[in-house]
Each structure stands twice: as C-alpha cells, then as structure tokens.
C-alpha cells in the first residue's frame, strides 16, 4: 500500500471509487443496459418474424400466380375447345342445311316434272280429242253423211296412227 501512497494514490479513496463504479455498473446493467438489450432483442425478433412472414407471403404469392397461370392456361384450352366445337358444329349444320336444301330442290324438281308431265298428257289428250272431233267433222263433210259410232272410233284410231 505504501507503494500506492508513493505514487499519489489513496487506497481508501480507490476502494470507494471501485465500490461506486461497481454500483454504477450494476445500476446501469439493471436499469439501462438490460432493458435496452431486451428491447433490442424484441425488436430483432419482430424484424426476423417480419422477414419470415414476408418470405412466406412471397412464396404464397408465387404459388398463387402459378395457380392463376395454370387456371388461365386451362381456361384458354377450354375456350379453344369450345370455339373448335362451335366451328365444327357450324360446318356440320351448314352441310346439313346444304343437304336439306338439295333434297328439297330435288323434291320440288320432281314435283314440277310430274306436274309438267301431267299437263303435257292432259294437253295431248285434249289435242287428240280436238283432232278427233275435227277429223269426224271433216269426214262428215267429205262423206256427207254421219257415220255411226263404230265407224267414228275406227276413223279416229286410223287418223291418230
């Protein structure tokens, strides 16, 4: 201790200062450093949790975007299938319409041909009847007498041939 006194250091005062310094460190540690460390630790945990949550959110967002893209791809494929089916149906309907129209045209043509044939036969019968009447009239005038019905029929048949 004498050595410390020779250097100008008071031992009692040094001891008191060491006790005061220890009390100060204990008080600072208890009331300042400890709460600050707790606050920093809490804040660090919150930041880490926020980063983890942000990372999870990023992953979920990526998953959602991927699912959304898959749904869009499926929707596009379905839309293309629907369009393709509609086009096929339209072509099929157009073909059916053409076939029905052809059938109706053929039916109308057949009906028209039958009507024309019937009209032709009717006109030929009328003309034959008219010719027969004219032949009978002309024959009466030429022969000068009325023939009986048998002779009329024979004369008509002969004139028609």
Q: How many helices (H) and strands (E) does the chain have?
A: 4, 0
Rounded to an integer, what distance in angstroms lies between the CA atom of residue 4 and that of residue 13?
11
Tell me the CA distances in angstroms from 13 to 5, 126, 157, one per residue in order.
Answer: 11, 162, 172
19 pLDDT tier (thresholds 50, 70, 90)? very high
11 pLDDT tier (thresholds 50, 70, 90)? confident
Q: Mean pLDDT throughout 44-52?
A: 96
Residue 147 has pLDDT above 80, yes or no: no
Rounded to an integer, what distance in angstroms lies between the CA atom of residue 135 and that of residue 160?
10
Instruction: Give whichever of 103-107, 127-131, 141-145 has the largest mean pLDDT.
Output: 103-107
Rounded to an integer, what distance in angstroms lies between the CA atom of residue 61 and that of residue 116?
80
Rounded to an integer, what distance in angstroms lies between the CA atom of residue 154 and that of residue 91?
66
User: What is the pLDDT at residue 4?
Assistant: 65
- pTM for this structure? 0.41
The tokens for 109 are 């043509």
Residue 26 has pLDDT above 80, yes or no: yes
Listed residue (86, 87, 83, 63) closest to 75, CA to CA: 83
Cβ atoms of residues 120 and 144 within 8 Å: no
Residue with tokens 């949790």: 49
């Amino acid at each position: 201790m004498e050595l410390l006194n020779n250097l100008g250091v008071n031992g009692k005062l040094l001891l008191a200062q060491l006790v005061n310094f220890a009390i100060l460190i204990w008080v600072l540690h208890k009331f300042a450093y400890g709460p600050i460390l707790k606050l920093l630790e809490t804040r660090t945990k919150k930041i880490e949790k926020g980063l983890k949550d942000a990372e999870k959110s990023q992953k979920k967002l990526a998953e959602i975007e991927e699912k959304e893209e898959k749904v869009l791809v499926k929707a596009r494929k379905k839309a293309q299938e629907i369009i393709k089916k509609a086009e096929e149906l339209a072509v099929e309907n157009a073909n059916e319409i053409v076939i029905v129209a052809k059938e109706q045209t053929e039916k109308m043509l057949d009906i028209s041909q039958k009507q024309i044939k019937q009209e032709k036969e009717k006109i030929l019968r009328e003309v034959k009847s008219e010719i027969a009447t004219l032949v009978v009239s002309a024959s009466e005038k030429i022969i000068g007498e009325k023939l009986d019905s048998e002779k009329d029929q024979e004369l008509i048949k002969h004139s028609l041939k």
